[in-house]
Amino acid sequence: MIGGGELLPATVVLGASRGIGRSIAKIAAREDTTVVLVARSESNLEAVEAELRAAGGRAVVFPIDLSSSDASKQLESFLARHGLFCDVLVNNAGYGLRGAATLLPIADQLGIVDLNIRTLADFTLRFSPGMARRRRGGIINLGSVASFLAGPNMAVYYASKSFVRSFSTALSQELRGTGVTVTCVAPGPVATDFLDSSGAGRATLFKVLPKLSADYVAEQAWRGFRSGRRLVIPGISAKVLIAIATVLPTSLLLPVVYRLQRRKSDPCPCGSGETFAKCKCSSMRN
Ligand SMILES: NC(=O)c1ccc[n+]([C@@H]2O[C@H](COP(=O)([O-])OP(=O)(O)OC[C@H]3O[C@@H](n4cnc5c(N)ncnc54)[C@H](OP(=O)(O)O)[C@@H]3O)[C@@H](O)[C@H]2O)c1
């Protein structure tokens, strides 16, 4: 037990083994808190832990698959065993998949709902009541520019991020005046493994847009959170994209986003097995 009696504050970072989560963990470790590093890959978490400790921070690792239904309960017990309480929660773990909703495996798409929505809601609902009682702390939720529009060819991912933004915004209002703040971060493309693992990096949209560094996004997120901001949009291009998405009618926006997120060599959503370019369906679309 780290605290030896009185519970000590911890910053819990979900998805801390790499990418934006790792960068946020490094920043959090500069403050007087223990950073709890959570993700599946134990060896990567240990590498981040060593990095944080070398810089003078305090960190512990908690390897777990956050898709498991009792993950938040397990973390709660882990914190109690270590004499810690969740002061700041960073809901950063998430993934996406590029492809037609009719063709991508159902289990993989439901996995996005599970991690990006259910897990985020579960951790938030489990730890926010304690924050409100203590009248301190807060939550950073990783949304995306994707939360401002529908995303054909990444339909479930975009929809999951809309949930994140809506939920965060409502909660920030409910907790106003309690001393607890909720910040939703909405970046555009960030140079992390996500772009490859989701397949998004192969789409024109993500090729043409400038990519921010994970460190920059993390700095903006933390600064916005510490200033009590409800929404943080890192970088100019994300702000411009959101402005366009907010102003343009959906009927104009949808075909453009679809074009930019699919490739001619992608299979047609009709399931014919033809590529998008060759299938007879494509002549009927924009
Ligand atoms: N990169 C972008 O362009 C971009 C843009 C906007 C928003 N975002 C959002 O930012 C967040 C972080 O993305 P990133 O770019 O840093 O992605 P990333 O580099 O792929 O990192 C994802 C993190 O989540 C963890 N994770 C994934 N599935 C998990 C599971 N089932 N259980 C536990 N941990 C899990 C991963 O660790 P393990 O694999 O070790 O479990 C990793 O630490 C996501 O919510 C993403 O949607 C990213």
For the stretch 255-266, pLDDT in tens is 999 999 999 999
In 42-179, at which residue ranges do the beta strands (DSSP E only) sit? 58-63, 84-91, 138-142
From 44, 92, 261, the mutation candidate for ligand 1 (largest count of ligand atoms within 8 A of CB) is 92
For the stretch 85-125, pLDDT in tens is 999 999 999 999 999 999 999 999 999 999 999 999 999 99
pLDDT category at 284 given cuts 50, 70, 90 is: low
Handedness of CA 142, 38, 3, 33 (dihedral sign): negative
For the stretch 131-147, pLDDT in tens is 999 999 999 999 999 99
pLDDT beyond 70 at 1: no
State if residue 158 touches ligand 1 by the CB under 6 angstroms criterion. no
For the stretch 225-250, pLDDT in tens is 999 999 999 999 999 999 999 999 99
Tokens, residue 32: 């007087």
Q: What is the DSSP string of 143-208?
A: --GGGGS--TTSHHHHHHHHHHHHHHHHHHHHTTTTT-EEEEE--S-BSSTHHHHTSGGGSHHHHH
- The set of catalytic residues is 157
Q: How far is the CA of 19 from the centre of ligand 1 (A)?
A: 7
Identify the three-state secondary structure at position 137. Answer: coil
State if residue 18 touches ligand 1 by the CB under 6 angstroms criterion. yes
Tokens, residue 45: 């978490």
Looking only at the bridges linking them, the beta strands covering 231-232 and 181-185 are parallel
The contacts of residue 60 (CB under 8 Å, 6+ apart) are 2, 34, 35, 36, 37, 49, 82
Ligand 1 atom index nearest CA of 16: 43
Domains in the chain: ranges and CATH: 8-284 (3.40.50.720)
pLDDT category at 285 given cuts 50, 70, 90 is: low
Q: How far is the CA of 39 from the centre of ligand 1 (A)?
A: 9
Integer CA distances (angstroms), 62 to 17, 30, 46, 56, 211, in order: 11, 20, 10, 20, 30
Ligand 1 atom index nearest CA of 211: 3
pLDDT beyond 70 at 286: no
- How far apart CA 110 and CA 207 sit, in angstroms, is 27
Q: How far is the CA of 36 from the centre of ligand 1 (A)?
A: 16
From 13, 18, 211, the mutation candidate for ligand 1 (largest count of ligand atoms within 8 A of CB) is 18
Tokens, residue 150: 């529908």
Q: Which of 203-207, 211-215, 273-277 has the highest mean pLDDT?
A: 211-215
